[in-house]
Chain A
Amino acid sequence: MAEDQDKILEEVTGGEYKYGFYSDIEMEEFPKGLNEDIVRMISAKKNEPEFMLEFRLKAFRHWQTMEQPNWAHLKIPPIDFQDIIYFAVPKKKPELESMDDVDPELKATFDKLGIPLDEQKVLAGVAVDAVIDSVSVKTTFKETLAEKGIIFCSISEAVQEYPDLIKKYLGSVVPHQDNYFAALNAAVFSDGSFVYIPKGVRCPMELSTYFRINAINTGQFERTLIVADDDSYVSYLEGCTAPMRDENQLHAAIVEVIAMDRAEVKYSTVQNWYPGNKEGKGGIYNFVTKRGICKGDYSKIMWTQVETGSAITWKYPSCILQGDHSVGEFYSVAVTNNYQQADTGTKMIHLGKNTRSLIVSKGISAGKSQNSYRGLVKVSKKAENARNFSQCDSLLLGDKCGAHTFPYLETANSTAMVEHEATTSKIGEDQIFYCNQRGLNTEQAVGLIVNGYVKEVINQLPMEFAVEAQKLLEISLEGSVG
């Protein structure tokens, strides 16, 4: 046991030094800005096979012909794409000597979330030798997965080890032509995760356990690819429930999910990036393209998201329901406070027969924030007996915030049944007073009421994630009422 630990320690510390050295050189060699040479350099640095370079270059050339989109409900300051360093070797965060140097507000949030001290250090950028717990978890984890033939590794590793799978699936759900940020990501993506579940295998654990730590340095152009083969099942948890201070302003990630016959994929996200301060300064712009395809018959993809962070969020996890009898579900909680802006929703594209989709969206707006739901339900000509039900609720805290709902519906088949329900409510003063009268202060009351309001969505999250998500909601709404 002790030996094992020593080995792990050595591996990690050894690895870290190498990494640090490597990244220093990287920083010198990569100038700001984006051109074809930079794309080639990224590919070369990662030692990628020819097909990957082609993949990137095609995307880059296409990106050059595109214009940054202009969205009606978001106020986006112009982004200077030549002022960004691509190849996201982690920009070195300021290393702090000890926990005493960490911003007390951040520390308090960590404590409220109950994050173990070692993880707190990593998240806050305090120098650590090794996070033994998470490393050993990671090791046993990998062994269990390997026994079942499950592949779970970084995209870079997958490009080297499983080029056939990558060639076949990367960009098959979100092609680079899809949108401006998808093209950019395809050209310069740094890293991300790859998951492959073989036929008939149920992944025995949530793919996340050590992810909180691991995901930190994947950079601003992240790429995730999940392939679930026939009759398989996987539940994947993305993200970091701790508030990360990140120097990168722009995040443009892509997630692709593929479900074959009777396969089921659950994808859960709790996103809590830095939203900027109370005056709306700083904060992350989060432009993500997430899309899944139910390729096989009777397959199912479920997106669950709890969004509390970022200054600007723009994301629409979507499902293409291609297989007959396939099912797409979308559960979302989006919280905005202070000056945050969120424009999220989903797209359900019904192509196969007897396909079903369900949308449950809960928006919560506080402060001076703007919260928009935008959802598209599209039923193609061949999609006989398609069914959709959408429930979009908005909760307002205070009267300076806004909630907007934009449901779009396109049906080309008369057998489709599509239902949409929407409500907007204000958190009731009489509800708060009722709680006050039972001995709860106003902050507790708001936390309780809000958590009740989002219960339907939170219930879809794996247990421990759900608990953290609830705490997060309370923290992100602190001081927004009363």
Chain B
Amino acid sequence: MLVIKDLHAKIDDKEILRGINLEVKPGEVHAIMGPNGSGKSTLSSVLAGNDKFEVNEGSVTFNDKDLLDLAPEDRAREGVFLSFQYPVEIPGVSMVNFMRTAVNEHRKYRNETPYSASEFLKLMREKKSLVEIDSNLTNRSVNEGFSGGEKKKNEIFQMAMLEPKLAILDETDSGLDIDALRVVANGVNKLKSPDRATIVITHYQRLLDHIVPDFVHVLYKGRIVKSAGKELAHELEEKGYDWIKKEFED
């Protein structure tokens, strides 16, 4: 589904991704961990098409399409979803209006007729109960005045609405209380299916207790320096990153 080969990306001549290789198959869950500033959010931004970063080497294919060749909105319509580490506020734009535009753009892209207002509201109710999001959040402007945790829940709600093929969750667990963490994890799990894949970026094992990864990767200084099964996350939780940094620097 997703094949990343030797991906390099930079900002202002500072190289941040320095040769990433990763393959994600349908149905898989990959966890990406790594110290602060190692390039995890940069990788997700580059995959989503943020032109702040310049890709200077490498390739990314998504379902046999050259992902780097697509505009960000087309990547989204192809089924790439990014749950932002820091979701932005859009004052005055109602969630309903925002999501309806988004969902209908996806439908148009697939040559489906746009949803009518009532069809859309029905879908929205369904998804709201699926991810247990508070009703009055969706009556407000996009993320405006939302608490940190509410913003993250809202990202998962949007993911549920758009049903992406590949969801990249960038620290969706940070800032969540224990109940919210379970709600978010349940939401992700309910949307899991054999033809969808998830990349979970996190610092903590506790999310991975709920969303169990097939693979765990460690990103360090712009490269994936270690990959293993879910047990790697436990090991990191126990020992921290020092042993990996040492191993890598040797």
Contact = CB atoms under 8 A, between A and B. Distances in A.
Interface stretch (A89-97, A161-169, A277-285, A438-446): A438-446
Contact of B72 (A433, A448, A453): A433
Interface string A342-371: 000000000000000000000000000000
B142 to A, nearest CB: 8
A434 B71 contact: no
Interface in A423-460: 428-431, 433-442, 444, 448-449, 451-456
B241 to A, nearest CB: 29
Contacts of A429: 52
A438 B76 contact: yes
A434 B151 CA distance: 13
Given A444-B101, A444-B105, A452-B141, A436 B73 contact: yes
A440 B108 CA distance: 11
Interface in B64-84: 71-73, 76-77, 81-82, 84
Contacts of B92: 451-456
B249 to A, nearest CB: 34
Interface residues of B, number: 29
Contacts of B158: 438
B98 to A, nearest CB: 7
Interface in B110-127: none
B87 interface: yes
Contacts of A439: 73, 76-77, 102, 105-106, 109, 162
A428 to B, nearest CB: 7
Contacts of A455: 92
Given A437-B72, A441-B73, A452 B93 contact: yes
A395 to B, nearest CB: 11
Interface residues of A, number: 23
A149 B129 CA distance: 55
B34 interface: no
A112 to B, nearest CB: 16
Interface in B38-79: 48-50, 52, 71-73, 76-77
B88 interface: yes
Contact of B90 (A441, A442, A444, A452): A452
B71 A448 contact: no
A441 B101 contact: no
Contacts of B102: 438-440
Interface string B141-173: 100000000000000001000100000000000
Contacts of B82: 437
Nearest to A444: B101
B91 interface: yes
Contact of B93 (A441, A448, A456): A448
A438 B98 contact: yes
Contacts of B97: 448
B144 to A, nearest CB: 9
Contacts of B88: 428, 430-431, 434
Contacts of A451: 92-93
A436 B71 contact: yes
Contacts of B87: 434
Contacts of A435: 90, 98
A435 B76 CA distance: 10
A435 B87 CA distance: 11
A114 B201 CA distance: 46
28 contacts: A429-B52, A434-B87, A434-B90, A435-B90, A436-B49, A436-B72, A436-B73, A436-B76, A437-B49, A437-B72, A437-B76, A437-B82, A438-B76, A438-B99, A438-B158, A438-B162, A439-B73, A439-B77, A439-B102, A439-B105, A440-B73, A440-B101, A441-B105, A444-B101, A444-B105, A449-B90, A452-B93, A452-B141
Interface of B: 48-50, 52, 71-73, 76-77, 81-82, 84, 87-88, 90-93, 97-99, 101-102, 105-106, 109, 141, 158, 162
Interface of A: 428-431, 433-442, 444, 448-449, 451-456
